[in-house]
Amino acid sequence: MPMENTYSVPYLYETLSAKAPGLSRPLAVSVPGSKSITNRALLLATLAQGTSTLRGVLFSDDSRHFLKCVQNLGFETAVDEGARTVTVKGAGGAVPLSEASQHVGSAGTAARFLTAFLGLSQGVYHMDSSEQMRRRPMAPLLDSLAELGCEVSYEGSGAEGRIPRSFPFTLRGHGFRKNSICVNIDESSQFLSALLIVSCLCSQDFTTAIEGAHGMAYIEMTRKMMRQFGVETLKQDERTFLTPAGQHYRALDYQIEPDVSAACYFYAMCPLLRIPVRVDDVHFDSLQGDVRFLRILEQMGCRAAETPRGILLEPSADGIFHGVTADMSACSDQAITLAAIAPFADGPTTITGIGHIRFQESDRIAGMAAELTRMGIRCEERADSITVYPGSPKPSTVETYEDHRMAMGFALTGLRSPGISISNPGCCRKTFEDYFAVLDHAADCLAST
Strand partners, 396: 420
CA distances from 382 to 135, 313, 347, 352, 385 (A): 22, 31, 19, 9, 5
In whole angstroms, give the CA distance from residue 110 to residue 228: 20
Longest Cα separation, the chain: 67
- CA-derived radius of gyration, the chain: 22
- Catalytic residue chosen out of the listed positions 61, 62, 333, 403: 333
Is 333 an annotated catalytic residue? Answer: yes
Q: Inter-axis angle of helices 61-72 and 35-47, to 10 degrees?
A: 10
- The bridge status of strand 240-243 relative to strand 206-211 is antiparallel
3-state SS, residue 77: strand
Q: Does residue 222 contact residue 197 with C-beta atoms inside 8 Å?
A: yes
Q: Does residue 392 contact residue 419 with C-beta atoms inside 8 Å?
A: no
Q: How far is CA 421 from the centre of its chain?
A: 24
Q: Does residue 49 contact residue 249 with C-beta atoms inside 8 Å?
A: yes
CA distances from 47 to 55, 105, 206 (A): 18, 22, 17
Residues contacting residue 382 through CB under 8 Å, at least 6 positions apart: none
Cα end-to-end distance, the chain, whole Å: 24
Residues contacting residue 318 through CB under 8 Å, at least 6 positions apart: none
* Per-residue DSSP letter, 320: -
Give catalytic residue positions.
Answer: 333
